[in-house]
Amino acid sequence: MAVIRDIEVVVFDVLGTLVDEPSGLRAGIREAVPTSDEAQVDELLALWQQYGERQRQRIDQGNRAYANTSVIDTEAAQLVAARAGFADPPTVARLATAGQRLPPWGDSLAGLERLSRHFPVLGLSNAARTALLRLNTHAGLRWHQALSAEIVQAYKPAPEVYQLALDTAGCAPDRVLMVAAHAWDLSGARAKGMRTAYVHRPVGDPPTARDDFDGRFDGLDELVVALTGG
C-alpha cells in the first residue's frame, strides 16, 4: 500500500466519492414514478445524467452562461417528467432536489471522522452552495469546511475550482491532497500541483496505467492508514 507523507490539508470530492449519486437519483425517480420498472428507471437516470453532463460541458466551453447544479437539476427533472409523462409541479420540484438526498458510502462517515483528527479536511464539490449544504446534512458528512464550485462560477476540472481549495488551505499545493473516485478530477488537481489519491467506488472513473497519482486505494480505511500510519 502506498504511504503518503508531508500532507497538511486533505480535500475530498463529494459526488461519487463520498456519496452514491446514481443510487440517490434512482430513489428520486422511483418516488416520482412509482409505477416504473428498472428498465424505465435506468432510461430516466441516463437522461438526467447525460443532460447534466452536456450542460456542464457547454458552460466549460463558453456556450452557456454559468448555471449552478440546482438550475441544471431542475431542468433535468423537467426532462424526466416529460419523458415519464407526468407534470404535477410538486412532484417535479421534489424530483429536482433528488441530488440533495444522496446516501453516503459505507466508509465515508467514519473515514472523514478519523482523518479530521489529524488534518484539516475540506469538501470540494461541483454541487451548488445550497444543494451542498442540504446534501451534507442528509448524508451526515462532517467537514472542517465545504467548498462549492459555485463560488468561482465554474465546474471541475476547471483550474479555478482547485485554486479555490488551495487558497482556502493556505499552504503549498504539494502539501494538499485531493481525494476522488474520478481520474479526471484528480488530473485537474494534479495540473494545479496538488497531490492526488484515487479511491475506488463502483460509480467512479478509474485511472489508467498512464495516470500518475500518489496513491490508489480500495476505500477510505486504506487511505487513512496511508496518511496516518494507523
Q: What is the pLDDT of residues 99-132, one digit of tens each?
A: 999 999 999 999 999 999 999 999 999 999 999 9
Q: How confident is the model at residue 1 (pLDDT cuts 50, 70, 90)?
A: low
pLDDT at 24 over 80: yes
pLDDT at 87 over 70: yes
Answer for the pair 19, 103: CB distance below 8 angstroms, yes or no.
yes
**What domain range is 144 assigned to?**
9-20+102-228
pLDDT at 204 over 90: no
The answer on 13 and 25 residing in a single domain is no
Answer for the pair 121, 143: CB distance below 8 angstroms, yes or no.
yes
The answer on 129 and 32 residing in a single domain is no
- Residue 3 located in a structural domain: no
Task: Report the chain's mean pLDDT, rounded to a whole number.
Answer: 97
The answer on 61 and 108 residing in a single domain is no
What single letter denotes the amino acid at residue 8? E
Task: Among 100, 115, 146, identify where a domain stops.
Answer: 100
What percentage of the chain carries pLDDT values higher than 70?
100
- pLDDT (0 to 100) of residue 2: 81
- pLDDT (0 to 100) of residue 190: 98
Q: In what order do the strands lie in the sheet with 145-148?
A: 145-148, 121-125, 9-12, 176-180, 195-199, 215-217
- This prediction has a pTM of 0.96
- Residue 53 located in a structural domain: yes
59-70 average pLDDT score: 97
- Residue 67 located in a structural domain: yes
Q: Measure the CA–CA gap between 173 and 132, rounded to whole angstroms.
A: 24
